[in-house]
């Protein structure tokens, strides 16, 4: 009965998300000349999201208790609310960028880069680079900075169903970013492998998780969750180094860590590269918890 209820509710949820997306896109266009108002309106939406969805709020707080067990309850509530406010404001700004209402320079703002020598060194190997990032703050700034700095960047993305097909793909290409879209009817692996073999910086985000029938289970922020394995296998096939690249959102820093070797042939949870990546990711999120997307649906599920 519960499964039938979920199937009946699914089209209603999708219609609701499409309506919210259209509203946000219209708002973003109206506010494009007013950056402070854009952030204020976005934060207002995030506050409503936190206040008016109690079930999701309880789930967010349960995950935060697992990830940050030493934090008091009041601090966890503040983090959960701020995460939604910051993400909503960032979504409006990103829509302004995608729709050409603001420039790349406006979206990037003053960005400092730490560890650029690690990227330069990794590229000299001639096998491309698998760059792994996090949905932390304005995470879209990392591939955009790479493109603006002149690096050949390819972004692996999954377009949400509420957006028009190809909406983000066309915008990314306009911004100098090659896109590989994950689709049900077309394998992304050959295109990712081709990009690596062409010497490109292929950017993925390692914190989204996958469905239970794919990936490899990893201990991450107090939970065991299936995470994507395919990109790491492709990096091994292409002999491409793996480069953690994270955004420190409060400081507007792009931080590039030293390159790691691709995992061994038999991909296991205890592989040193995977463990290094996910422990780095945990440290980044715990250092900036109010900027991570705790409301992400696949992460939020038990």
Is the pLDDT score of 47 beyond 90?
A: yes
Q: Give 73-124 pLDDT, tens digit per residue.
A: 999 999 999 999 999 999 999 999 999 999 999 999 999 999 999 999 999 9
Give the contacts of 280 (CB within 8 A, at least 6 positions apart): 244, 246, 257
Give CA–CA dist 132/277, Å, rounded: 8
User: Over the range 30-64, which residues count as b (16 or more CB within 10 Å of their CB) and which as e?
Assistant: ebbeeeeebbebbbebbeebbeeeeebbebbbebb
Predicted local distance difference test score (pLDDT) of residue 302:
52
Q: What percent of the chain has pLDDT over 70?
A: 92
Strands 223-227 and 112-114, by their bridges, are: unpaired
pTM tops 0.85, yes or no: yes
Cβ 238 vs Cβ 196: under 8 Å: yes
Is the pLDDT score of 143 beyond 90?
A: yes
Average pLDDT, the chain: 89
Give the contacts of 259 (CB within 8 A, at least 6 positions apart): 118, 121, 122, 129, 241, 242, 243
Predicted local distance difference test score (pLDDT) of residue 173:
93
Is the pLDDT score of 301 beyond 60?
A: no
Q: How confident is the model at residue 5 (pLDDT cuts 50, 70, 90)?
A: low
Is the pLDDT score of 55 beyond 60?
A: yes
Q: Give 153-188 pLDDT, tens digit per residue.
A: 999 988 777 788 889 999 999 999 999 988 765 678
């Amino acid at each position: 009965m519960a499964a039938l209820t979920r199937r009946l509710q699914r089209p209603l949820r999708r219609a609701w998300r499409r309506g919210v997306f259209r509203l946000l896109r219209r708002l973003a266009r109206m506010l494009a000349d007013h950056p402070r108002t854009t952030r204020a309106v976005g934060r207002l939406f995030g506050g409503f999201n936190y206040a008016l969805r109690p079930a999701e709020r309880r789930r967010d707080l349960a995950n935060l208790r697992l990830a940050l067990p030493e934090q008091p309850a009041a601090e966890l509530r503040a983090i959960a609310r701020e995460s939604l406010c910051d993400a909503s404001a960032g979504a409006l700004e990103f829509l302004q960028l995608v729709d050409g209402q603001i420039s790349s320079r406006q979206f990037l703002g003053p960005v400092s880069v730490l560890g650029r020598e690690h990227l330069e060194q990794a590229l000299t190997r001639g096998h491309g680079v698998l760059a792994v990032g996090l949905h932390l703050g304005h995470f879209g700034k990392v591939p955009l900075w790479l493109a603006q700095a002149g690096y050949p960047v390819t972004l692996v993305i999954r377009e949400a169903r509420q957006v028009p097909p190809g909406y983000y793909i066309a915008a990314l290409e306009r911004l100098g970013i090659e896109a590989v879209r994950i689709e049900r009817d077309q394998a992304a692996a050959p295109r990712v492998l081709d990009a690596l073999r062409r010497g490109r910086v292929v950017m993925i985000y390692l914190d989204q998780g996958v469905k239970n029938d794919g990936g490899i289970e990893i201990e991450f922020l107090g939970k065991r969750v299936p995470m994507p394995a395919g990109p790491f296998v492709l990096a091994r096939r292409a002999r491409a180094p793996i480069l953690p690249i994270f955004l420190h959102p409060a400081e507007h820093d792009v931080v590039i860590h030293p390159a790691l070797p691709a995992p061994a042939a038999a991909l296991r949870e205890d592989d040193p590269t995977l463990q290094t990546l996910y422990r780095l990711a945990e440290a980044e999120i715990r250092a900036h918890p109010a900027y991570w997307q705790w409301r992400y649906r696949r992460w939020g599920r038990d």
